[in-house]
């Protein structure tokens, strides 16, 4: 499955479990406004690591945090 | 009955309690207690050991018990090596403990250059040529890595929580059994209860499975059985649990949550189940016998008993005549300015009761919010499909850590059970404390001290 659809699916499932309402995921959606809090993102990164086998945050030496959903997907796609 | 317990060496206290047909039963051999009065296993070397500081290092628990009985009142200091003391630490232990000689059934590695007195076959004992003294008892603290830390106790302090004539019924003296090792604080408490309470004891062996030990306990007719909650959870998974019919069940060494107390009450209907709070440094604090987790809030202000307690920055502090007197070899102070020992065990008052929430050192930090794994485990363990659980931190680049859980199922491992456990957690815990993932495991590792093994994330 494409990285993008895995990310989308996981964000939807975490939002449902954590009772958050998730904004429509478009590339220019700012992550801070997507409806998930930092705990949700921590869970997302852990699940993606389990599913994809890597965690670009811990392999990336630069302190980088994607700001939009599009950046986030691209960040994972680059590391894949 | 009070006087003999509080005075004299261990051997004379055992004699004063009296009782016949008393035994220390090991897995491979057993010793009748009567033999300790007329025999020695140290031969002619026994008198040489008077006034010495002695490291007791043994392969089995029975041997350690015999050395303690022989040398209390003669030695200056008895340092009790735990079963997992690494050879690499022997030199530093000898140095820190100012030990002159090693006594036991395990010769020290060559090259250490330490005198060794082996325990031999029993021989008739001759009259001793030394004046009795109050020996120091030195025990190793648990949970340290690196250079072992030791604390100084006395027999009076160690036996301080043991009520004189503890065995309820002189016609039916207690047979103690414990999953603990008597070379650690919790196990030594049980040995002393057996020895000073007119009873016998079944000693565990690391080469024996929980099932084999339970079978042996049953065959010896154990009446008083003590273990950590982790030991008990494992024992409850064994069909051999039906072999034992104790009349007293005791838990200590870890937090006894309501789930394990209830499981024991269900497995042994009508049998009193007590949980005790003690630590190697702070000694025995208290016992709780109402069948509920935590302890009554009025324990805190109590001024009538031997123990004073207070809470500072969330952690329990104890002061009593049973606390250790000092760390061996100086170093940190054991107690605060008022003589209270900080246990590092965190407590929280809810209503008229205090609850243990976990170890200060085991905190998981999720984005600055602190979680004690034990409080989450207590919730998970409430699910009937759970036998035991381990909660730990998983590293997260976002929040530093997130909470994950490993669960040993009590029956079926299904996604339904997982979902129910999560629902249970979500109902009572805030989101950051709720496990973000649950994994079923076959078993959870338990340390040699009987505690759930926690590797800090």
Predicted confidence pLDDT, tens digits, chain B (457 residues): 334 445 789 999 998 888 889 999 999 999 999 998 889 999 888 889 999 999 999 999 999 999 999 999 999 999 999 998 989 899 999 999 999 999 999 999 988 889 999 998 999 988 777 788 999 999 998 766 678 899 999 999 999 888 765 555 667 899 999 999 999 999 999 999 999 999 999 999 988 988 999 999 999 999 999 999 988 988 998 889 999 999 999 999 889 999 999 999 999 999 999 999 999 999 999 999 999 999 999 999 888 888 999 999 999 999 999 999 889 977 778 999 999 999 999 999 999 999 999 888 888 989 888 899 999 999 999 999 999 999 999 988 888 899 999 999 998 899 999 999 999 999 999 999 999 999 999 999 988 888 898 875 4
| Residue-level pLDDT at B143 | 61
| Residue-level pLDDT at B457 | 42
For residues B432-455, one letter each, b for 16 or more C-beta atoms within 10 angstroms of the residue's C-beta and e for the rest, the string is: bbbbbbbeeeeebebeebbbbebe
Q: Which CATH superfamily is domain B2-344 in?
A: ANL, N-terminal domain (3.40.50.12780)
With the C-alpha atoms ordered B176, B180, B184, B186, is the resulting torsion angle positive or negative? negative
On whether any CB of chain B is under 8 Å from the CB of A38, the answer is: yes
In chain A, residues with a C-beta closer than 8 Å to the C-beta of B434 are: none
Report the C-alpha gap between B103 and B70 in whole angstroms. Answer: 11
The H or E element spanning position A48 is helix A38-52
User: Cα distance from B398 to chain A (closest Cα, Å)?
Assistant: 5
Mutation site, B371, B398, B404, interface A, largest A CB count within 10 A = B398
Average confidence score pLDDT of chain A: 89
Mutation site, A14, A39, A57, interface B, largest B CB count within 10 A = A39
Residues 368-407 of chain B with CB under 8 A from chain A are 394-399, 402
SS3 A8: helix
Report the C-alpha gap between B417 and B158 in whole angstroms. Answer: 44
User: Cα distance from B145 to chain A (closest Cα, Å)?
Assistant: 28
Contact A58 B398 (CB under 8 A): no
SS3 A63: coil
Domain B363-440 classified CATH 1.10.10.10? no
Query: What are the residues facing B392 on neighbouring strands?
Result: B404
Report the C-alpha gap between B96 and B147 in whole angstroms. Answer: 10
Report the C-alpha gap between B40 and B66 in whole angstroms. Answer: 9
| SS3 track for chain B | CHHHHHCCCHHHHHHHHCCCCCEEECCCCEEECCHHHHEECCHHHCHHHCCCEEEEECCCHHHHHHHHHHHCCCCCEEEECCCCCCHHHHHHHHHHCCCCEEEECCCCCCCCCCEEEECCCCEECCCCCCCCCCCEEEEECCCCCCCCCEEEEEHHHHCCCCCCCCCCCCCCCCEEEECCCCCCHHHHHHHHHHHHCCCEEECCCCCCCHHHHHHHHHHCCCCEEEECHHHHHHHHCCHHHHHCCCCEEEECCCCCCHHHHHHHHHHCCCCCEEEEEEECCCEEEEEECCCCCCEECHHHHCCCCCEEEEEECCEEEEEECCCCCEECCCCCCCECCCCCEEEEEEEEEECCEEEEEEEHHHCEEECCEEECHHHHHHHHCCCCCEEEEEEEEEEECCCEEEEEEEEEECCCCCHHHHHHHHHHHHHHCCHHHCCCEEEECCCCCECCCCCECCCCC
Contact A46 B366 (CB under 8 A): no
On whether any CB of chain A is under 8 Å from the CB of B420, the answer is: no
For tokens 């060559």, the residue is B110
What region does B450 belong to: left with phi over 0, alpha with psi -120 to 50, or beta?
left
Among B399, B436, B437, the residue with its CB nearest the CB of A38 is B399
Report yes or no: B428 and B379 within 8 Å, Cβ to Cβ.
yes
Mutation site, A17, A42, A55, interface B, largest B CB count within 10 A = A42
Among A18, A42, A58, the residue with its CB nearest the CB of B402 is A42
Q: Closest Cα partner for B436 from A46, A16, A64? A: A46
Q: Half-sphere exposure (CA, 13 Å, Cβ side) for B39?
A: 14
Contact B436 A38 (CB under 8 A): no
A5-30: pLDDT as tens digits: 999 999 999 999 999 999 999 999 99
Report yes or no: B179 and B212 within 8 Å, Cβ to Cβ.
no
In chain B, residues with a C-beta closer than 8 Å to the C-beta of A38 are: 367, 398-399
Tokens of B329: 């070899």
In B, minimum Cα distance to A64 occurs at B397
On whether any CB of chain B is under 8 Å from the CB of A32, the answer is: no
SS3 A71: helix
Could you give phi then psi for residue B252, rounded to 5 degrees? -160, 175
| Residue-level pLDDT at B3 | 40
| Domains of chain A in sequence order | 3-79 (1.10.1200.10)
Report the C-alpha gap between B184 and B151 in whole angstroms. Answer: 12
Report the C-alpha gap between B247 and B417 in whole angstroms. Answer: 34
Report the C-alpha gap between B347 and B315 in whole angstroms. Answer: 6
Could you give phi then psi for residue A45, rounded to 5 degrees? -65, -40
On whether any CB of chain B is under 8 Å from the CB of A57, the answer is: yes
| Residue-level pLDDT at B454 | 86
For tokens 């273990």, the residue is B227
Contact B398 A42 (CB under 8 A): yes
Contact B397 A39 (CB under 8 A): no
For tokens 């003589």, the residue is B339
Interface confidence (ipTM) of the complex:
0.91
The domains of chain B are located at 2-344, 363-440
| Residue-level pLDDT at B370 | 85
């Amino acid at each position: 499955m494409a990285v993008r659809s895995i990310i989308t699916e996981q964000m939807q499932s975490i939002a449902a479990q954590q009772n958050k309402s998730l904004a429509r995921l478009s590339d220019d959606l700012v992550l801070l406004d997507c409806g998930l809090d930092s705990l949700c993102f921590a869970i997302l990164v852990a699940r993606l690591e389990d599913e994809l086998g890597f965690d670009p945050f811990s392999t990336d030496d630069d302190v980088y945090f994607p700001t939009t959903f599009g950046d986030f997907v691209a960040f994972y796609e680059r590391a894949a | 009955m009070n006087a003999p317990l509080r005075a004299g060496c261990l051997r004379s206290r055992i004699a004063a309690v009296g009782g016949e047909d008393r035994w220390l039963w090991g897995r491979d051999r057993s010793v009748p207690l009567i033999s300790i009065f007329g025999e020695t296993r140290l031969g002619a070397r026994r008198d040489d050991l008077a006034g010495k500081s002695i490291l007791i290092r043994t392969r089995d628990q029975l041997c350690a018990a015999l050395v303690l009985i022989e040398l209390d009142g003669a030695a200056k200091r008895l340092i009790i090596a735990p079963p997992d003391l690494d050879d690499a630490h022997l030199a530093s232990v000898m140095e820190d403990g100012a030990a002159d000689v090693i006594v036991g059934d395990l010769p020290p590695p060559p090259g250490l250059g330490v005198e060794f007195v082996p325990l031999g076959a029993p021989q008739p004992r001759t009259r001793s040529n030394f004046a009795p003294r109050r020996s120091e008892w030195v025990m190793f603290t648990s949970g340290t890595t690196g250079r072992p830390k030791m604390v100084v106790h006395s027999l009076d302090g160690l036996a301080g929580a043991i009520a004189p004539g503890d065995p309820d019924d002189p016609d039916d003296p207690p047979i103690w059994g414990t999953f603990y090792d008597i070379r650690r604080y919790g196990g030594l408490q049980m040995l002393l209860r057996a020895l000073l309470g007119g009873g016998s004891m079944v000693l565990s062996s690391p080469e024996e499975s929980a099932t084999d030990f339970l079978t042996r306990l049953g065959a010896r007719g154990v009446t008083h059985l003590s273990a950590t909650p982790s030991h008990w959870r494992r024992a409850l998974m064994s069909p051999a649990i039906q072999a034992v019919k104790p009349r007293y069940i005791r838990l200590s060494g870890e937090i006894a949550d309501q789930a394990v107390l209830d499981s024991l009450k269900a497995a042994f209907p009508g049998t009193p189940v007590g949980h005790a709070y003690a630590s190697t440094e702070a000694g025995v604090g208290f016992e709780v016998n109402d069948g509920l987790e935590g302890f009554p809030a009025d324990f805190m202000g109590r001024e009538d008993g031997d123990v004073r307690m207070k809470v500072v920055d969330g952690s329990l502090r104890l002061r009593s005549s049973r606390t250790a007197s000092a760390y061996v070899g100086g170093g940190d102070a054991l107690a605060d300015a008022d003589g209270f020992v900080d246990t590092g065990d965190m407590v929280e008052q809810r209503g008229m009761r205090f609850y243990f929430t976990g170890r200060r050192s085991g905190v998981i930090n999720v984005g600055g919010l602190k979680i004690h794994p034990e409080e989450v485990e207590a919730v998970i363990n409430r699910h009937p499909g759970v036998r035991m659980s381990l909660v730990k931190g998983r590293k997260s680049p976002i929040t530093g850590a997130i909470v994950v859980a490993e669960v040993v199922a009590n029956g079926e491992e299904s996604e339904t059970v997982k979902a129910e456990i999560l629902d249970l957690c979500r109902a009572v815990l805030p989101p950051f404390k709720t496990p973000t993932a649950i994994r079923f495991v076959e078993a959870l590792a338990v340390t040699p001290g009987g505690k759930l093994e926690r590797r800090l994330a």
